[in-house]
Amino acid sequence: MSELASLSGHHALVTGAGSGIGAAIARALVKAGAKVTVAGRRKEPLEALADELGRSHVFIADDFDVTNCDKISAGLANAHEAFGPVSILVNNAGEAPSAPFEKTSLDMWSHVLSVDLTGVFNVTQAVLPDLKAKGQGARIINIASTAGLTGYAYVSAYCAAKHGVVGLTRALALELARKGVTVNAVCPGFTDTPMIARSIAEIVAKTGRTQEQALAEFTKANPQGRLISPEEVAGTVLWLASEAAGSINGQAIAIAGGEVM
């Protein structure tokens, strides 16, 4: 296995790992030789992923709520028992409800920021002692979004949260640079995930457009005229986790076909 791909000896924690980007990242990390804790609130998809990848390589941390510090601590303690300290943290859990700004309730705003931004803070603080003890080669990789680099209408809370994730990434990268821990953000454009599928179905239901017309709303921003695949995002995460990316720090890497430059 090449230096770029080999992650043997690493224990990775991936939040929001049950489907979409999180599941693709877990697959890539296991293939590269890492032990992976897959974390999420729903047990069934995590069980299916663990069966697919092999129970000797995957530990399931179900009922893992990034907004609940007690549940994070419990899940991390169980992960330690399974595979030891975490050396790669992938903060992927997130939600993206849409509404015009004037119809965005305080509850929606607070919930999105709690999951998408404060959740990154909570999990990173919990795992940070492991990462600092590992030092050289330890990684924090935050799955942000092009919404953290630009603006989109009707998802103001999501944009605010993801801008916050990018800012947190840059601040923490500077704090940890001398510790050997790198901190980077991956910023996908619209990606072919269940979240996008739900959004397309909602557009169809609300507007009467066809599925093809609804899909076009998401692909038009990408100069390549397509959705990003979860595997493309996972490939970038795999590179950032590798030794070859040891000098990449504090970056927000757009995976969007040229939408953001």
Please identify every residue annotated as catalytic.
158
Instruction: Give the separation between CA 57 and CA 208, rounded to whole angstroms.
Output: 45
Helices (H), 54-118: 69-83, 106-113
Contact 145, 102 (CB under 8 A): no
Helix, strand or coil, per DSSP, at residue 139: strand
> In terms of Cα–Cα distance, which of 246, 93, 97, 92 is closest to 183?
246
Structure tokens at 52: 């697919």
Which DSSP helix (H) or strand (E) runs through 84? none
Which DSSP helix (H) or strand (E) runs through 103? none
Contact 13, 83 (CB under 8 A): no
